[in-house]
Amino acid sequence: MGETPNLAARLQNAAEPGMVVAADATRRLAGRLFEYRDLGLANLKGLSAPVHVSAVLRESIVDSRYEALRSNEMHLVGRTEEL
């Protein structure tokens, strides 16, 4: 029940055969584990606002899962020794 299963069902309907799609929230949680193609905003039935959708293309090539899950926007200040 709730918005998540409804969103998942709508995204599944919006995907072409063999395509995996993800909403922005999922894309942010997955970090850089995958490469995506932006599909723009989609008006999905049953949802009040358009949803930003991306197609999942493939796994990214990264040194580690830790690196992939950390945003490029994360800056450590005063942590030179730890880095």
Condensed to tens digits (0 to 9), the pLDDT of residues 21-61 reads 999 888 888 888 899 999 988 888 877 788 889 999 998 88
State the CATH number of the domain containing residue 45.
Answer: 3.30.70.1230
Domain region containing 8: 3-69
Residue 48 falls within a domain, yes or no? yes
Residue 20 falls within a domain, yes or no? yes
Q: Could you give the CA distance from residue 13 to residue 19 in angstroms, rounded to a whole number?
A: 11
**What are the residues whose beta carbons fall under 8 Å from the beta carbon of 52, sequence distance 6 or more?**
23, 24, 38, 40, 41, 42
Residue 83 falls within a domain, yes or no? no
Residue 21 falls within a domain, yes or no? yes
SS3 21: strand
Number of compact structural domains in the chain: 1
Mean pLDDT of the residues in the chain:
81
